[in-house]
Amino acid sequence: MKGRTVVASAMPGKARIEDPSKDEHFLRTLRDRVRADPQDADALTALGSLLLQRGDAQKALECFNRVTRQNPAYPGIWRLKARAFEALGDAASAEACRKRGADWHS
């Protein structure tokens, strides 16, 4: 399986093989979309999610902040921001984001 990575699946007991070159292609595609339209909340959210998965919580948070500035009711964005803050070790900000998300969706 040279050039491939086995990653955990959402389904217990299952794993999938992921091609790192596809991950890089997806990253480039998302960055191109954001360059073409800096207000593209879907692309910003996907880019932030991918960056967070890759361990770059600070850049992920920058993407998520851009989304919340333009649409604070964007579905799931506060949960994603909470995860980014947790990854950065900022439990207080993570909790504030979870509360803010609950306020938007209650």
pLDDT tens-place string over residues 35-93:
999 999 999 999 999 999 999 999 999 999 999 999 999 999 999 999 999 999 999 99
Q: What is the pTM of this model?
A: 0.78
Which domains does the chain possess?
A: 5-104 (1.25.40.10)
Q: Rounded CA gap, 39 and 15, in Å?
A: 35
